[in-house]
Every structure is written in C-alpha cells, then in structure tokens.
C-alpha cells in the first residue's frame, strides 16, 4: 500500500510520501517539489505540470490552468461565467451542462470534463510519487479547500478515480495543515485539560481559508472554519494586470486585452513583481521586451503603491478571522498561536493585518508551501496499515448546514429538518426514523445558501425504495442513516424497514436472530451502524446519533411510542435493508466515469508512445552531434580521410533530414536511421575504445607473466618458500608463461606495425581472456600451500574448517577476476525497514 498525500493547488501541487524515515515532500522530474497545475494539449500528446506551463505563451489556447474551481459546477454557473472572459482558453458545456474545457488535442477539437483535466494532473502527480517510491501508487489522500461543497468534492474524487487513484480521504486543506502542526507537538495539554487553541490561515492563489483548532494530546478538533473564496494571490495579480493594462494603453496605445499572448506574459511579469515587492519596498521595474506589436514596455511600482491599489482586497482579510472567532465563541486571549501558510501569506500587508487582528506575532513554523501535502501524507499514514504512526484523532467540521426535506403525508406538504448544522463534527452518522406506507424521497440541501461561496442549494435526492405498509395496514417504521463521510460528503448511507410481527396473545415469540424486543431495537441499529462504519474507508472514530423525532406521520409515531406497560403486545421485529436510489447533484454516471477512466488510459499510452518516439528522434540528433564532434576529435586517427569525409557528409544530411522530412516520423524510422549511422560509426568508435584500453590489458598480462617468472626463478634458486612445489608442474607453468609471452609479443608487434584506421589484430577481450587462461593454468600450482609442521601435542588442532594456507605474500598471484571486482564489492548488510516514526 502506498502512503501519499497530494496538495492539489489552484496554481501548483505538491506531493508528499511516507517512508521509513518519515514524511518527505518529493521532487518531480525537474527536481522541483512544486508541480504547476497546468495541462497542455498538442497535436500528438499532452504535457502536464512544468512542461505544460512552459507552453502557456506559445500554445495558450490549448494550455489549461486555473481549473480547480470549475469542479462540480454548471458551465452556466455565475462563477464560471464571470471568470470565463479572463481565460485565454475556451470553456464549453458537457452534455450534462457541467463545465468542460475545449481544446485541440491530436488535431481534433475535444471537450474534456473538469474531472478529466484534474485526472490528468493527478496522473502526473501519481507518476512523481511512483518514481520517488519506486512502486505503484494507488492509495492516497488528496486536499480540497474546506469550503468545497459536496458536488465539488465528489468531482475531485471522480478525478482521482480517473487517474487510477484510490482516495482514502479528501482532506480539507486547513485540516491537513493542523495535522502537520499538531502531530509533532510533544507538549500538548492532556485530554482532560483545557485544549490549546491555534488559528490556521492559508492564503493560496485562489482562496483564503481560516480555521481554528483545539489540540489535546493525541487529538485535534476543528472548531470552526471561515473563508473568502475571492481573496488569493491571483486577485492581487489581477489588480496589477489591470493597472498595467491601463498604463500601457495610455503610454503606448496598446490594447493588451486584445492579445491573449501579451496578456499571459503580463500576468507572469506581474506575479513576479508581486513576489519581489514582498521582499523589497523600493521602486521595482517591470520590463517586457517585444511585448506587443514589436514594442518593448517598461514601468515601475513600489510596495506602498501596490498596497494602496489593493486596499479593498486587503480590507477583506479581517472578515473570516472575525467569523471563526465568533463561531467558536473565542476571545483573542484564548489563542495560543496563529500559524500562516500558503504562498500569498508572504505578502507583508496581509501578515500585518492578521497579526494586528490577533495582537500577536504570527508563527511560521510550518513550510508554507508544503504543509498541506505533508498533512495529507500523514493522514494517509494514519489510515495505512503499513505504517505505525502515533495515535492521533482528527475531528473535522461540516462546513455548511445540511437539511433534508420530504413530502409528508400527514402534514400534506413538505417537511424538513436540519440534520447537520454548520460546524457539526465530521465524519458523523445519524439515524432518522420515518413512518411510511410507500417509497419516499428525501432531498438533501444546504439550508443556508448565504454561507456558501456561490448559490447552490441542492445536494441530491435519495429515493428510499421498497417501502410497504405493515400487514396490519399501518405505516412501517423506516430507519434512515444519514452521514457526512470522511471526504466531507453527505449521503443517505443506508435505510431499513422495521417490520413488526405481532404474535397471538400468550404465545411466546420465537427467539430467532431477527427477534428483538422493542427496547432492544436501538441497540440493534447501533450495531448495524458499526458495520456501516467499518466499511467506510478506515474511518475509525466516527460517532452515531439517533434522531427519533423525525417522522412522516406524527399520529402513527404516537401509536408506536406507547409506553410498554400500557398494554403488553407481544411483538417481534424484523429489519429489512431497503435499496436507495441516489440522484446526486452534478454526479458523473458510472458509465461516463468508466469511459473517462478508459480514455485516460488511452491518453497515457499515447503520451508514452509519443515520448518513446521523441526519445528515438533525440537519440538520432544526439548521435549526429556527438559523432560530428568526435570525428574531428578523438576519433580522427581511427578512420581514413575518405571514409571520414563521407561519414561527415552523411551526418550532415541526417541533420538536415531531421529538420525536414524527418521532423515527424514514426519511432521505427528513427531507430532505423540511428542503426544505419551506427553501422558506419560504431567500428570507428570501437577502434578508438580498443586503442584506449589495449595498453592496460597488455600491461596486466605482462604483470602476470612477470610475476610467474619471478616465482619460477625463486623455485629454481631453491627458495624455501617454494621447495614444496612439484618440479614437473613447475615446468608446465614455465611453458605456459613462455607461450603467453610469445603470444603477447607477437600480437604487440603486429599491432604496432598496423594502421589505427583498420580493425586491431587483437581485441582487448582476447588479451583479458589470455590473462585469465594463464592464471587458471598457473595459479593452482604456484599457490599450493606449504605443508604445515606438526603442531606440539598440547595445542589442539582446529576441528572445524580447512587449515589455512600461508598468508598471501606480495608475489602471490591474484585472480584477475577478483582483482578487478575487489574495489566495487558492495556491502550487503541486510536492511530491515523500520516502521515510520514521525519523531
């Protein structure tokens, strides 16, 4: 199981993984830990992340960015319509009316759903995690803004599925930050003590989120959240862009908005300027060469002017801060610390305002860019059985109050009930009781649309099927379980019909498994809830609450609620699970989702093929350049002039071909082309390599010969070290050595008299083989150990193992195989993976 956290940002994404050493933010193929949230479409492939961002100017129409907030929204949605005019790429409705993006891909006009686009981005992030972990990644935790509604959340879950990911939890961005903060703290108050209250602020590119959290040892509880979805780094960029558009219109008579390419460049420069102004309060220049109509533009700005321009935006900082304090009923003195994260939290004026509001220094102990991803990876590690992480319970909140409404037979009209008020603990389940004679529909909706970032009320409809009256004709008791799950998504997660079977008086009801007395009924439901929970993505600690007050028929309820002592009806009950038909707002159908999964697979394959094709082309190009250089360098001596000229010409032709007919060919064409060139180039290159390595090989053989000769000499001189050797065998060795020397001298002389432009008379491998052969023939004879002198009696001979031979001396021949490998021998210490300890 993989343990990965993804921060799916509006502007950029981060990937954190858990390894034995702890949590680590990992880098992409550009060695960058930040992956831009960009997807670019081309005639033969897609590029995602940094590669896509680099095309934002040249291929702006097909380069998609800033799509995070299109999740779960209609194309006609006021938010979508309001940003549409500022986009340089096109939007188009999907057949369902949801937002899609229109691009040219593979020379065809295509409309991709937002789930698909985010799925593409996640595919990239998944690859980054996979190459860091060196194993497939499926299980993960993904972040979403705490203000995302159900349809937005479900849309992100679908995107994860399209990318082949199993999202164990969608985690609110600020909650991920609180976890990244709290789990490492060793000095949190004990569970029974007053909690430590910390405010977290995340100012990203698109939005501003605040949450207030209560920490005790081993747990965190979010108390309240607030946000401004129209306050982020992007909004500051927009003000700068607007300012310079006006200035350039006056100064240079340029209509920047009419040229998307210029607008994209201006946006990039304004963002850079904004970042510079965070560090510097003096006048800073803005220069763009060849901006529009061949005109260079320049201007300047300083922080004071910038803050003046952004006064309205800056005034919005306080609102959410006030809101969380009010919601959580806290005073400023209650706040232990204010932690800020998110790229745009670096703007000095923002920091000043937040700090002034709380009357305290801000704390920046977390990595402002990576805290969300790290928190998600920590959550994934907690959910994963593969890691041992300190117990830490996380209680989040329901961001918006949720109500249910239904047709009520008794009241002849619509009834409703708030099931989850704002800031209710989540995940959480409740059981509602209805008395019905027929199937009925529950509609879930946000009952206070003003709390939402945009006017959406509906969550979905849930049709409780197969409801029929009791045999007596009375309404049946239907228990409905509603839940806000780990992803923060509302659902009607189960419904059951409680059949009441009356037994004739005096007859004891049979004790079957389904027989439960009325007062035990509650218990039975609770147990079932436990079962529901277990299947709910590792949600270990949710709670269940029963709401018996909700009913479709109050009269009926009274009847059933008679105190047991009034009359003693002997009843047994049977619970029957009821099917539920869900109709969720902006939910992709499973057929469409499956099709998207399949299409993503095809596009991944296409990208892979295109990459291989490009690699094959690059290999040809690289070979051409490399060979051209070397033909007039190191290889010059190894090819005759005529061959060199013709090969040079061929290389030049190939280079031209690459820019003309060979620009866009099949992979095999490039492979063949490279093979054709190598057929000529390889022998030249081989001759060069042979000439480079030959002296060493001969030297090694020479050394070996000399060494054996020395031993033979010593033997002949009756050296006591060798006097145990057999004469006949030494004579054999002598012959081998003489033969080898003759062979070597002969080959050396032949080779020295031969031109380097022709293939060598002897190959390095042959020389090495000769060295090895000599060793095998001579070594066993010459290194035979001298017999040991009989040990004195009292010393016991070693019982186990062979008797050691003499210590190798300097003149002891060494194995040519081992001689070369000795230096590279790896230490093979068995590495047992420790469990992750976040300390």
The residues of the shown chain that bind ligand ATP, judged by CB under 6 A, are 9-12, 68, 204-207, 232-234, 271, 274-275, 278, 342-344, 346-347, 369
How many CB atoms sit inside 10 A of residue 229's CB? 17
Q: Which does 488 bind (CB under 5 to 8 A by kind): ligand ATP, Mg ion, none?
A: none
Q: With respect to ligand ATP, which residue has the nearer C-beta, 82 or 562?
A: 82
CB of 184 to ligand ATP, least distance (A): 21
Q: Which does 233 bind (CB under 5 to 8 A by kind): ligand ATP, Mg ion, none?
A: ligand ATP
Residue 577 bridge partners (DSSP): 496
Hey, which residues does 519 pair with through a beta bridge? none
Nearer to ligand ATP, 118 or 542 (CB): 118
What angle, 0 to 180 degrees and rounded to 10, lies between the N-to-C axes of helices 114-133 and 590-631? 50
Quote the tokens at residue 839: 């300390």
Cβ at position 342, least distance to ligand ATP in Å: 4
Nearer to ligand ATP by Cβ, of 303 and 436: the residue is 303
Task: State the minimum distance, in angstroms, from the CB of residue 131 to ligand ATP.
Answer: 22
Furthest CA-CA distance within the chain: 124
Q: How far is the CB of 210 from Mg ion (least distance, A)?
A: 13
- Measured from the CB atom, the residue of 366 and 705 that comes closer to ligand ATP is 366
Angle in degrees, CA 225, 229, 231, rounded to 5 = 110
Site for Mg ion in 720-759 (CB under 5 A): none
Using CB under 5 A as the binding rule, whether residue 204 contacts Mg ion is answered as yes
Q: Give the shortest CB-418-to-ligand ATP separation in angstroms.
A: 30
| Cβ-based nearer residue to ligand ATP, 339 or 443 | 339
The 335-341 sheet, strands edge to edge: 335-341, 196-203, 208-216, 219-228, 393-397, 425-426
Region binding Mg ion by CB under 5 A among candidate stretches 6-14, 328-336, 538-546, 771-779: 6-14
Which stretch in 7-15, 38-46, 687-695, 783-791 sits in contact with Mg ion by CB under 5 A? 7-15
Contacts of 588 (CB under 8 A, 6+ apart): 113, 115, 155, 158, 596
**Are 762 and 753 spatial neighbours (Cβ–Cβ below 8 Å)?**
no
Q: Which CB atom, from 369 or from 610, has the smaller least distance to ligand ATP?
A: 369
Q: Which is nearer to ligand ATP, 143 or 573 (CB)?
A: 143
Partner whose binding site includes residue 647, from Mg ion, ligand ATP, none (CB under 5 to 8 Å by kind) = none
Segment near Mg ion (CB under 5 A); pick from 3-11, 476-484, 532-540, 711-719: 3-11
Q: Which does 234 bind (CB under 5 to 8 A by kind): ligand ATP, Mg ion, none?
A: ligand ATP
Which among Mg ion, ligand ATP, none contacts residue 320 (Cβ within 5 to 8 A by kind)?
Answer: none
Nearer to ligand ATP, 178 or 551 (CB): 178
Residue 320 touching Mg ion (CB under 5 A): no
Residue 232's binding partner, choosing from Mg ion, ligand ATP, none, with beta-carbon cut-off 5 to 8 A by kind?
ligand ATP
Q: Give CA separation, 194 vs 178, 221, 224, 285, 332, in Å.
A: 18, 13, 17, 52, 16
Q: Are 172 and 145 contacting, i.e. CB atoms less than 8 angstroms apart? A: yes
Distance CA 72, CA 597 (A): 18
What is the 3 state secondary structure string of 107-176?
CEEEEEEHHHHHHHHHHHHHHHHHHHHCCCCCEEEEEECCCCCHHHHHHHHHHHHHCCCEEEEEEEHHHH
For residue 207, the partner it binds in Mg ion, ligand ATP, none, with Cβ less than 5 to 8 A by kind, is ligand ATP
Nearby residues of 481 by Cβ (< 8 Å), 6 or more positions away: 429, 430, 431, 432, 492, 493, 494, 495, 529, 532
Q: Tell me how far, at minimum, the Cβ of 24 lies from ligand ATP, in Å.
A: 19
Residue 494 binds which of ligand ATP, Mg ion, none (CB < 5-8 A, kind-dependent): none
Q: Which residues lie closer than 8 Å to 692 by C-beta, 6 or more apart?
A: none
CB of 289 to ligand ATP, least distance (A): 22
Query: What token pair was written down for 757?
Result: 């432009």
Beta carbons within 8 Å of 200's beta carbon, 6+ residues apart: 174, 177, 178, 181, 210, 211, 212, 213, 338, 339, 340, 341
Which residue, 68 or 747, has its beta carbon nearer to ligand ATP? Answer: 68
Q: From ligand ATP, Mg ion, none, which one binds at residue 231 (CB under 5 to 8 Å depending on kind)?
A: none
In this complex, which beta carbon is closest to ligand ATP, that of residue 255 or of residue 283?
A: 283
Query: Which residue of 3, 4, 6, 9 would you call a contact of Mg ion, by CB under 5 A?
Result: 9
CA angle 441, 457, 78 (to 5 degrees): 140
| 775 contacts: CB under 8 Å, gap ≥ 6 | 704, 813, 815, 816
| Residue 302 or 606 with smaller CB distance to ligand ATP | 302
Q: Considering the complex, what minimum distance in angstroms separates the CB of residue 68 from ligand ATP? A: 6
Please calculate the CA angle 788-790-794 and round it to the nearest 5 degrees: 130
Tokens of 85: 């005019």
Q: Which does 274 bind (CB under 5 to 8 A by kind): ligand ATP, Mg ion, none?
A: ligand ATP
- The least distance separating Mg ion from the CB of residue 343, rounded to whole angstroms, comes to 8
Stretch that binds Mg ion, among 51-59, 75-83, 201-209, 297-305 (CB under 5 A): 201-209
- CA distances for 317 relative to 203, 350, 452, 515, angstroms: 10, 7, 18, 59
CB 137 within 8 A of CB 129: yes
Least distance from Mg ion to the Cβ atom of residue 11, Å: 8
Please, which residue, 101 or 368, has the CB nearer to Mg ion?
Answer: 368
Nearer to ligand ATP, 286 or 697 (CB): 286
- DSSP string covering 588-606, please? PPHHHHHHHHHHHHHHHHH
Min dist CB 13 to Mg ion, Å, is: 9
427, interface contact from ligand ATP, Mg ion, none, CB < 5-8 Å by kind: none
Which residue has its beta carbon closest to Mg ion? 204
Cβ closest to ligand ATP, residue 373 vs residue 677: 373
Pairing of strands 196-203, 335-341: parallel
Provide the pairing of β-strand 440-446 with 208-216: unpaired
Separation CA 556–CA 573 (nearest Å): 17
To Mg ion, the closest distance from the beta carbon of 204 in angstroms equals: 3
Decide whether 37 or 216 has the Cβ nearer to Mg ion. 37
The candidate with the shortest Cα–Cα distance to 775, out of 741, 803, 733, 745, is 733
Contact between 375 and Mg ion per CB under 5 A: no
Report the distance separating Cα 527 and Cα 494, nearest Å.
13
Question: CB 297 → ligand ATP: shortest distance, Å?
Answer: 21
H helices of 328-446, where? 348-358, 371-383
Pair type for strands 22-25 and 12-19: antiparallel
Q: Which stretch binds Mg ion (CB under 5 A): 203-211, 446-454, 487-495, 762-770?
A: 203-211
Question: What whole-number distance in Å separates Cα of residue 403 and Cα of residue 319?
Answer: 26
CB of residue 179 to Mg ion, shortest distance in Å: 15
Shorter beta-carbon distance to ligand ATP: residue 144 or 262: 144
Minimum distance from residue 204 beta carbon to ligand ATP (Å): 2
Can you say whether the dihedral through the CA atoms of 563, 564, 570, 573 is positive or negative? positive
Q: Look at residue 344 and give the partner it binds from Mg ion, ligand ATP, none, a contact being a CB closer than 5 to 8 Å depending on partner kind.
A: ligand ATP
For residues 19 and 275, which CB has a smaller minimum distance to ligand ATP in the complex?
A: 275
- Would you call the peptide bond into 427 cis, given omega within 30 degrees of 0 as the criterion? yes
CB atoms within 10 A of CB 405: 16
CB of 21 to Mg ion, least distance (A): 25
Q: Which does 68 bind (CB under 5 to 8 A by kind): ligand ATP, Mg ion, none?
A: ligand ATP
Shortest Cβ 658–ligand ATP spacing (Å): 39
Binding site residues, Mg ion, CB under 5 A: 9, 204
């Amino acid at each position: 199981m993989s343990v990965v956290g993804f921060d799916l940002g509006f502007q950029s994404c981060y990937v954190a993984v858990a390894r034995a050493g702890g949590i680590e933010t990992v880098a992409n193929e550009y060695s960058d830990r930040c992956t831009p949230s960009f997807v670019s479409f081309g005639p033969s492939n897609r590029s995602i992340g940094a590669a896509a961002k680099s095309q934002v100017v040249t291929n702006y129409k097909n380069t998609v960015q800033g799509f995070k907030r299109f999740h779960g929204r209609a194309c006609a949605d006021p938010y979508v319509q309001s940003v549409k005019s500022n986009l340089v790429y096109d939007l188009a409705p999907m057949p369902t009316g949801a937002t899609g993006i229109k691009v040219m891909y593979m020379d065809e006009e295509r409309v991709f759903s937002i789930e698909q686009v985010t799925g593409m981005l996640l595919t990239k992030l998944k690859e980054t995690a996979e190459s860091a972990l060196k194993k497939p990644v499926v299980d993960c935790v993904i972040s979403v803004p705490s203000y995302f509604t159900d349809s937005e959340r479900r849309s992100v879950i679908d995107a994860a599925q399209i990318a082949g990911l199993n999202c164990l939890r969608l985690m609110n961005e600020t909650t991920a930050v609180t976890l990244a903060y709290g789990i490492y703290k060793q000095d949190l108050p004990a569970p029974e003590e007053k909690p430590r209250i910390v405010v977290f602020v995340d100012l990203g590119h698109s939005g501003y989120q605040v949450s207030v959290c209560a920490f005790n040892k081993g747990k965190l509880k979010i108390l309240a959240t607030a946000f401004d979805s129209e306050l982020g780094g992007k909004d500051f960029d927009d003000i700068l862009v607007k300012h310079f558009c006006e200035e350039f219109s006056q100064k240079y008579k340029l209509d920047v908005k009419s040229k998307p390419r210029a607008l994209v460049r201006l946006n990039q420069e304004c963002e850079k300027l904004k970042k510079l102004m965070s560090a510097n309060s003096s006048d800073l220049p803005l220069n763009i060469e060849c901006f529009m109509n061949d005109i260079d533009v320049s201007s300047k700005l300083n922080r004071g002017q910038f803050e003046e321009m952004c006064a309205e935006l800056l005034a919005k900082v306080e609102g959410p801060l006030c809101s969380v304090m009010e919601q959580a009923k806290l005073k400023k003195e209650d706040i232990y610390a204010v932690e800020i994260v998110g790229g745009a939290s670096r703007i000095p004026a923002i920091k000043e305002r937040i700090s002034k509001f709380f009357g305290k220094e801000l704390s920046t102990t977390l990595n402002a860019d990576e805290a969300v991803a790290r928190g998600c990876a920590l959550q994934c590690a907690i959910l994963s059985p593969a890691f041992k992480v300190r117990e830490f319970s996380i209680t989040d909140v329901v961001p918006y109050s949720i109500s249910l409404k239904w047709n009520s037979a008794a009241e002849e009209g619509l009834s409703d009930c708030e099931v989850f008020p704002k800031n209710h603990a989540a995940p959480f389940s409740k059981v509602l009781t209805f008395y019905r004679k027929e199937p009925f529909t529950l509609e879930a909706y946000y009952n206070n649309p003003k709390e939402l970032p945009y006017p959406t009320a509906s969550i979905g409809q849930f049709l409780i099927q197969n409801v029929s009256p009791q045999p007596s004709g009375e309404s049946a008791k239907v228990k409905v379980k509603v839940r806000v799950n780990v992803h923060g998504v509302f659902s009607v997660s189960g419904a059951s019909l409680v059949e009441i079977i009356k037994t004739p008086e005096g007859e004891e009801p049979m004790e079957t498994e389904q027989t439960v007395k009325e007062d035990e009924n509650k218990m039975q439901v609770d147990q079932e809830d436990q079962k529901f929970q277990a299947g709910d993505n590792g949600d270990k600690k949710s709670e269940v609450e029963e709401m018996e007050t909700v009913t479709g028929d109050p009269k009926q309820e009274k009847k059933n609620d008679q105190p047991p002592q009034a009359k003693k009806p002997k009843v047994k009950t049977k619970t029957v699970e009821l099917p539920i038909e869900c109709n969720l707002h902006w939910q992709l159908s499973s057929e469409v989702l499956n099709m998207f999964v399949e299409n993503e697979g095809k596009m991944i394959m296409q990208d892979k093929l295109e990459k291989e094709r490009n690699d094959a082309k690059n290999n040809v190009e690289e070979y051409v350049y490399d060979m051209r250089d070397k033909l007039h360098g190191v290889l010059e001596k190894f090819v005759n002039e005529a061959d060199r000229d013709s090969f040079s010409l061929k290389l030049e032709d190939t280079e031209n071909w690459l820019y003309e007919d060979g620009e866009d060919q099949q992979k095999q064409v490039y492979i063949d082309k490279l093979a054709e060139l190598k057929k000529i180039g390889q022998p030249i290159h081989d001759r060069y390599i042979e000439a480079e390595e030959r002296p060493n090989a001969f030297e090694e053989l020479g050394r070996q010969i000399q060494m054996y000769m020395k031993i033979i000499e010593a033997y002949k001189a009756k050296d006591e070290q060798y006097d145990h050797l057999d004469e006949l065998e030494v004579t054999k060795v002598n012959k081998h050595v003489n033969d080898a020397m003759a062979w070597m001298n002969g080959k050396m002389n032949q080779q020295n008299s031969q031109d380097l432009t022709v293939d060598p008379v002897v190959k390095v491998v042959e020389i090495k083989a000769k060295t090895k052969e000599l060793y095998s023939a001579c070594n066993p004879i010459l290194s035979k150990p001298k017999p040991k002198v009989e040990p004195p009696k009292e010393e016991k001979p070693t019982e186990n193992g062979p008797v050691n031979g003499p210590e190798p001396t300097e003149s002891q021949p060494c194995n040519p195989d081992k001689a070369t490998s000795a230096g590279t021998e790896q230490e093979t210490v068995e590495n047992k993976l420790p469990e992750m300890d976040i300390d």
